[in-house]
A and B are shown apart, each in its own frame.
Chain A
Amino acid sequence: MSSARSQHSCKPLDEQLKMPKPEHNQPLKIAIVGHTNTGKTSLLRTLSRDQRFGQVSPRPSTTRQVESMQLMIDSRAAIELFDTPGMEDSIALLEYLEQLQASDGRRLDGPERIKLFLQQAEAGKRFEQEARVLRQLLHSDAGLYVIDVRDPVLAKYRDELEILKLCAVPLLPLLNFVRADNAQEQAWRDTLARLGMHVLVRFDTVAPALDGERALYTTLATLLDRHRDTFNAIIASHEQDARQRHQAALTLLAELLLEVAACQLRTAASPPSVLQQAIERLNQKVRQREQHCIARLLTLYSFSASDIETAGLPMIDGQWQEDLFAPETLTRLGVSVGGGAAAGAAAGLGIDLMLGGVTLGTAATLGALTGGGLQTLRHFGQNLRSKLTGQHILRVDDAILRLLASRQLLLIKALEARGHAATGKVYYTQPDQLNLSIWASGLPAVLQRARRKPRWSKGDDGDPGRHQAIESLIRTLQEQLN
């Protein structure tokens, strides 16, 4: 994904990021206009990656005032996007505009007509909302006309476009909700063509395509040729940001996996209750570590905890408990839980250990583990010290590591494809979406190495080996994503 993106940028990045010299110190102004409830505010949220901008609701006329957001390049405002109220009374307004006469009787062109309208008393009364839109559009370098393509093409939309065209500002129709089942894209394209608008852009505000933003700005650049450099700079800057976020996300995941793989817990093997407690402690540690990773991923992608599906899951310490250790999920991962359970009647402890997601590396419980599956015994006899001291080392099972990797990769994918206007939840624990075949033939060597490095579980301590392991794991994870 990131390699595909970097292919676009053939110029050196520094050069691309260099801001064109602005003739005036004002950012490029783009008004987002359209009928009420077509997703103007959503578009702005998605483009600015800011969930908190304005108000979004399925109710029409949520936005009543012009509000704006500046897109920065290198801390300088390059583009200012204006969110405008919806056009609601276009049929009456167009009629009103057509009736307007100049006081000296001369013919009015579009912008003059709009300006004359803005001086009328009606612009503050019945057409107050529309006047705000037109005033803003007149003062903008371009307009983005947002269309909900699920709506049929109606007379009022055509009138709206007629009115907006009077402002003589480049207007780019933006087709929103193009992925909906009942999208009427062709009808809209035909209508726009009849109005002389042949350039348009498809952009789903809730689930934008990965290159959607690039397409949007590139198309805008064709309309505003003088500002092409600004758009290129924005594209380059945002793609660089996206690459950095992607890299950072994989780093977070690599750290999670490495630390969980390196994690060890020493415990006495008997009585079983002590062992059970230790297992629960380890499980809890892993859960908390995963939560920590999720929280940081959400912050990284500027989302909040409310974006994640948590309903129906029990809360622990104010955090939602996932089905990380649920038997069904483990079974789907191909862990020999079932086989182990069927094979040995005395395998109660072994099965508990399996479900606990930990492996027990000792000889003492061997009897109890007969039939518990090879997984359970994988670390048998590995640690001489544990043999001598009678202590046992609990480690997190391969299956849990695979599940963690699969879940977090799914989450990263979902967050990268998610627009900041989306109000639905991200699901990242659905077994049918998870790539459960991940590392089915064995964990990557770097994670196996981590098993022997308990100090890696403590976080970054400047150890060069850990640093290299993270780098190598990032590459492995990137391959999994491709």
Chain B
Amino acid sequence: MTLINSDNAPPATQRWLAETLRLHEAQQGPLDDSQLTASVAMADLAPEQCILRRAQFLARDQSWLNALKDWKKHAGLLCFLLLFLAFVSGFLSALAVLGETTGPINLFWAITALLGLHLATLMLWVFSSISQFAPGGLLGQAWLWLLAKLPASPRNSLSGQAALGILNRSHASYWGLSLITHSLWLAALLGVTAGSFLALALRSYSFNLETTILAPETFIRAISIAGWLPARFNIDIPDADTIRATLGNPEQGEHIRRIWASWLLSMLLIYGVLPRLLLSGLCLFLFRRRLAGFRLDLKLPAYTTLLARLKPHSQPANSKDQPAPPSLPASHAGSYAGELITGSRQLILFELDQTAEQWAQPNLAPLAKVESREQRHQVLQQLQQAPVERLLIVCNRQLSPDRSTLNWIAQASWYARQTTVLLLAQADSSPDHERVSSWQHSLIDTGFTAAQLYLDKEPAVRWLTE
């Protein structure tokens, strides 16, 4: 087992690590990565790389990588153990079938005993692959079950969960479990072959083909059909004469016994070992390819949230603007101290879209509407020439008070002995406490007192007309 280093770990290990940490954070809450986000610029990294980099950073003390390594070791050991057991049981079953028999060996009987279960489970594997029942074969499932039963630290079992998650998401688990199933069978069949070879090498057997109802031609055809494949590998198969000589006659010459012994072994190799070897190879290839195709699922909530933080889609830029001065030059409210016509009144509608009729009441002072630049100048000039005793300025309180408005109101107040401001609400106004209070604050800052401010039309008009 090579030591895994977080800096040069293969991408697959890095992804495994990231998935393990995702599961850990889902259970235990987020780990602290503030040092990383402060030090490493994620700018040029692809989204997945950002997450992998973070995982490497969090696992920099090797303990997480050791947990992965341990899990891998456990899984490997379990696999090795099962392979060993499979080989031994194959070996023993071969000895049991051939073993201490004193009489002649029934060839077809022996072949069925040695290869029957293997062929039946191979069928079952094909069937389960189609039907999705125990996908990957029962042996693979057994390995998985045993693996889950092994005692493990929390980190270890998290690594295992992450590994299974990766296998499932990448659709590699089917091929992985199949690989285990076929490898175990391969080991078992190698055990069978080895056991058979040992028995055939060290003991003297005679062979027999027996039948009660079948014709000799059936055997000849069956053996020639079964021999087609071995023939591709230049393996001699018994010819028709040999078969006839063996049929029902266990007393054969040395030559014929040797033919049958090699035929038996070749059957085991070609129909036992070879298919499992090929299938193991195929599963290994597909397993690796699927696994190599695995990428972190960035749609997972954990990763989406993480990426929004590691690779923000907006960030504040350094403001190069000069600091704002504490205040800007502004006019202050005042009052006219000079001479004026007693009883003179003035009503001003400031930026208020109301008609004169709405304000047509007896004794009400002349009305002026102020909005544009020209109106502002004109009304100020008029006041300057003829200051008034009482001035009521009506503002639309739905608008925001701005500097130019406040300046103008302050300037207008210079030409009246007394000035009040009515903050008028339009008929269809929605609640506007905040706007009203900002008007009040601004006007008080400008130099008015709270007593000079009205919120209702009635008292303001009364004040102006009395």
Contacts and interface: CB of A to CB of B under 8 A. Distances in A.
B304 A245 contact: yes
Nearest to A155: B372
B27 A35 contact: no
Given A72-B312, A248-B299, A251-B300, A88 B317 contact: no
Given A67-B319, A75-B44, A80-B317, A59 B325 contact: no
B305 interface: yes
A244 B304 contact: yes
Given A182-B430, A251-B300, A60 B317 contact: no
Nearest to B45: A75
A90 B317 contact: no
A67 B321 CA distance: 7
Contacts of B313: 49, 71-73, 237-238, 241
A272 to B, nearest CB: 34
Nearest to B162: A462
A389 to B, nearest CB: 23
Contacts, number: 177
B294 to A, nearest CB: 13
Q: Kindly name the residue among B168, B301, B319 whose own CB sees the greatest number of chain A CB atoms within 10 A.
A: B301
B163 interface: yes
A249 interface: yes
B305 A299 contact: yes
Q: Kindly name the residue among A35, A244, A249, A251 whose own CB sees the greatest number of chain B CB atoms within 10 A.
A: A244
Contacts of A47: 314
A385 B323 CA distance: 74
Contacts of B442: 60
Interface string A31-53: 00001111000000001111001
A60 B400 contact: yes
B328 A126 contact: yes
B308 interface: yes
B387 interface: no
Given A35-B402, A126-B328, A459-B26, A59 B371 contact: no
A20 B437 CA distance: 49
Interface string B426-464: 101110001100100110000000000000000000000
A248 B305 contact: yes
B302 to A, nearest CB: 8
B324 A64 contact: yes
B42 interface: yes
A404 B372 CA distance: 57
Given A248-B305, A467-B165, A92 B401 contact: no
A154 B305 contact: no
A95 B373 contact: yes
Interface string B398-437: 1111111001000000000000000000101110001100
B315 interface: yes
Nearest to B351: A154
B317 A77 contact: yes
Given A50-B314, A244-B298, A89 B319 contact: no
Contact of B319 (A61, A66, A92, A159): A66
B323 A65 contact: yes
Nearest to B299: A247
Nearest to A72: B313
A48 B314 contact: yes
B154 interface: no
Nearest to A89: B404
A331 interface: no
A72 B438 contact: no
A72 B402 contact: no
Nearest to A85: B324
A35 B401 CA distance: 11
Interface string A156-185: 100100000000000000000000111000
A460 to B, nearest CB: 6
Given A125-B328, A181-B428, A251-B301, A462 B404 contact: no
Interface string A114-147: 0000000000011011001000100000000000
A37 B329 contact: no
Interface of B: 23, 26-27, 42-45, 160-169, 173, 298-301, 304-305, 308, 311-317, 319, 321-325, 328-329, 351, 353, 371-373, 375-376, 396, 398-404, 407, 426, 428-430, 434-435, 438, 441-442
13 contacts: A37-B400, A59-B438, A88-B404, A89-B404, A90-B404, A129-B324, A182-B429, A241-B308, A241-B313, A252-B301, A302-B308, A460-B161, A463-B168
- Which 3 A-B pairs give the minimum distances between C-beta atoms? A462-B164, A64-B324, A58-B434
